[in-house]
Every structure is written in C-alpha cells, then in structure tokens.
A and B are shown apart, each in its own frame.
Chain A
Amino acid sequence: MTALSALIRRDIRIALRVGGGALIGVLFFLTVVVLMPFAVGPDLALLSRLGPAILWLGALLASLLTLDRLFMADHEDGSLDLITMSRTPLELACAAKALAHWLAAGLPLIVATPVLGLLLNLDMVATGAVALTLLAGTPALTFTGMIGAALAVTLHRGGLLMAVLVLPLSIPVLIFGVAASQAAIVGPMTFGAPFSILCALSLVSLVIGPFAAAASLKHGLD
C-alpha cells in the first residue's frame, strides 16, 4: 500500500509543479468550449441545448490529450524499468498512475464545468447533471486511455496515433454520458438508466484498463 500511495503522491506532485501538465488540460477544455459558439453561433437557446454535448466533447478531448505522456515520461527516464522490476504488480502500479492522473487532470475538469456551464447558458440542474456524469464517466476515459498510453510506449509513438487508437474506444462513454445529462435536462428517458450504464462502463474500464496496459508494457519491454 505504501508503494502505491507513494506512486500516486509522486505523480500528483510532478503534475502540479513547474513543467507539469495538470492545469493545461483545464485550459484546453476551456478553449475548446469557448471555440464552439464561434462555430455554431452565439444563440443562447441553441447553445444551452448543445451544452452537455459540447462539455462532454471538450472533457473527452482534454482528458485524452493529456494522457499520452502517462507512461512515456517514466519510460524515457528509466523509472518504468524499476517499476516493472518492483514487488508491486505492474497492473496495480498502472492503476495507481491512472488514478493519480485522474486526480490531477480529470478532477479539475469537473471543477471547471460550472464556469463553462455559465458560458453555455446551462441552468443549475443541467450543469449539475453534466458535472455528475463527468464525475462518473471521466474515470472510464482515463482508464481506457491508459491502454493507448501504454501502447504509445511500446510502439515509441505518441500523440495523434494514441488519440486515433483510443478515441473509438471512448464512444460508449460519450454516448451514455451525454444521454444521461440530456435525460436529466429534457427527458424523456429517466436519468437512472444511462447513468447506471455509464457507471458500469467506468467500473469495467477500472479492471480492464490496468490489465491491458500492464500486458502491453510487459510485452513491449526492451
């Protein structure tokens, strides 16, 4: 347990210090959301209808684009070798790294949601619904995204390739995330059904993500 909490604390510390990327994700989220009205027009009624979708897309891109360095930095400086050799199972170490990434880069997105809801003319209920679905759904994005991050290390390619690999995997999360927020705002579906599926997706990815990432890292050792 000390090993995992040490890893989580280290990764969060690095993300928050100079050169760390934690807050750049939020800035990216903010920028993407601000760009949308320039494309669809400043009509507040339209924006509030599209709001949940815009926020979800922004959060999706922001949480995936910050992920590609998840294992790459540790690979480049040799830390990954020591992590692989250690007594901590690689799966658990991967899960700890993903959790740290979510705490440092995913959680701020959710905190920023109310401000962005204001820009998109979402009311309290709608903003709350989007924030809640993001809270339930972004772990799924991080934990599926980490598979791509691990592949990026194996293949020595990062960036766009990773996005291309991972974005299709995140489609279910997007579908049920937006569906649940829309259900809470306009109906006619109940909020519970899509939200439960969203939570289920997160729980499944919590299991699959670390195993797939660890397998990919082990396979790609050299």
Chain B
Amino acid sequence: MTLIDLANPTRFLALTARLLPWLAAATIILLAIGLYQSATAPDDYQQGATVKIMFIHVPNAWLSMFVWGVMSIASLGTLVWRHPLADVAAKAAAPIGASFTFLALLTGSLWGRPMWGTYWEWDARLTSVLILFLMYLGLMALWRAVDDPSRAARAAAVLTLVGALNLPIIKFSVDWWNTLHQPASVMRMGGSSLDRSFLIPLLVMAIAFTLLFVTLHLAAMRNEILRRRVRSLQMMQASRVAFSEVGTGSREGSTSKEVGAA
C-alpha cells in the first residue's frame, strides 16, 4: 500500500473503515496493559505515589511533539508533493495535538503541585510545552479563520514548517532564559537512569498513546473528508436552480460558475 494508493479519498475511506476497529482494539488493549502496569509499579523513594503521573505525562509530552512532526510531514506533502490528503491530515492532527499538549501541561502542573508547591513554575520544560500549546492554538485559529479549506491549507503548511524550524530555537532560548534566572529546576528526570520497573510501563504507555493518536487521527481525517464532501454538495445544491414557479427561459448563466469552485 503506497501513498499514491491512498491519494484517492474514496479508497482512503474504505481502507480506514476496515482498519479503524483493529486499531481501536489494539489501543484499548495496550492502554489497559499500560495502565495496569503503571498502577502496580513501585512508588518512587523520593516522590512517592505522585511519580505515577509520569506514566500519563510523558506519553502526552512525547505526542505533543510527535504530532507536530506528523503535521510537518503533512505540510511538506501539501507544499512539495501536492498530495491530496496531506492538508486533510494536517488539519485533522492540529486539534488532537493541541489536546495532547494540553494534557501534558495539565498533568505537568498537577505533578508540580506536590513538587513545587504551586501548580505552575516557569520551568524550562513546561514553558516550552506551553509555547507549543500556543502555537497549536494559533494554527487552529488559522484553519478556522479561512472558510475555504484549500486556501487555508497552504498558509497553515507554511506556518507549521516555520514552527517546526523554530521549535528547537524556542526550546534553546527558553532553556537559556530559565538557567539565566534560576539554577537547576526542581525536577530532573534522567532518561536512561530510569529503573526498569518504570521504563517498561512507560514504554507500553508511550506506544499505547501513539496508537491512540493514530486511531483518532484517522477517524478525524475521515470526518474532515466527509465534511468537505458535505461542503461541496452544499455548494452544488446552492447552484442548483429550483426556479420552476417563476419566470421562464434559460438560467444556465447563474449555475455554471460554481460547479468549478466545488
């Protein structure tokens, strides 16, 4: 199955209709396993039971960046390869990415409450995620601001790619800004020094969340394709002439214009 085969929306809809139940089932099973393992994982000797927020927080944070990556590839698809489904993929991913980013912020701040004593600390990590969240919201606002999706697609694609290039710079600046003002942040997570009893549930959760994203994304893409079909049907309906009661003669003049636009 190549990308070209998927270019046809009808084929995409048929394929995803068959794929989605399996994906959903796999997501549920993995999530159940991951949650069970997380619940039974030992408490941290410093942080106690609060460490379990990590099993939700880290996958969300990972996906907040992963989704932007997916959108960037989709944007390349829009701008370079002109893949017909690319902007559908980019548009459908934005709200999902924003939700994961929001959950990362929420769980981060809930985790911060016992650690820092406040819900929010201008910690370099959290701050970067907050900026990412703002960029997601801006992107969604851009999609919403323009009525015609194909016109919004190019603008959104450019913004997504610029964002992707800027994200490392923003991350670096925030790190620099943060260390300028305060020494090391309270919370440190050495990735590799993590104990196996934490690592395995975390990996399972990360895969489960990624599957969750893929499932939601495909479903959202289906919705977007159907929404666009409704839109063009509506435009065709608008240009249809229901004019039998009044007047006679030809009315092709007013109808021919819009079929092209649809």
A residues adjacent to B (C-beta < 8 A)? 18-19, 21, 23-24, 27, 30-31, 34, 37-38, 41-44, 47, 118-119, 121
Contact = CB atoms under 8 A, between A and B. Distances in A.
Interface string B103-145: 0000001000000001111100001001100100110010011
Interface of B: 109, 118-122, 127, 130-131, 134, 137-138, 141, 144-147, 177-178, 181-182
Nearest to B130: A34
A30 B141 contact: no
Given A27-B141, A30-B134, A118-B120, A41 B146 contact: no
B163 to A, nearest CB: 14
Contacts of A41: 181
Q: Give 5 nearest A-B pairs by CB, closest first.
A: A42-B122, A41-B181, A42-B181, A119-B120, A37-B122
A18 B144 contact: yes
Dominant SS at the A interface?
Answer: helix
Contacts of B137: 27, 30
Contact of B181 (A31, A43, A119, A121): A43
B138 A42 contact: no
Contacts of B177: 38, 42
Contacts of B127: 37, 42
B82 to A, nearest CB: 25
A171 to B, nearest CB: 29
Given A38-B177, A42-B178, A44-B121, A27 B144 contact: no
B21 to A, nearest CB: 32
A98 B121 CA distance: 38
A120 to B, nearest CB: 8
Most buried by B among A34, A38, A42, A118: A42
A18 B120 contact: no
A108 to B, nearest CB: 13
A62 B182 CA distance: 31
A19 B144 contact: yes
Contacts of A34: 130-131, 134
Contacts of B119: 118
A96 B137 CA distance: 30
Contacts of B147: 18-19
Contacts of B118: 44, 121
27 contacts: A18-B144, A18-B147, A19-B144, A19-B145, A19-B147, A21-B145, A24-B145, A27-B134, A30-B134, A30-B137, A34-B131, A34-B134, A37-B122, A37-B127, A42-B121, A42-B127, A42-B177, A42-B181, A42-B182, A43-B181, A43-B182, A44-B121, A44-B122, A118-B109, A119-B120, A121-B118, A121-B120
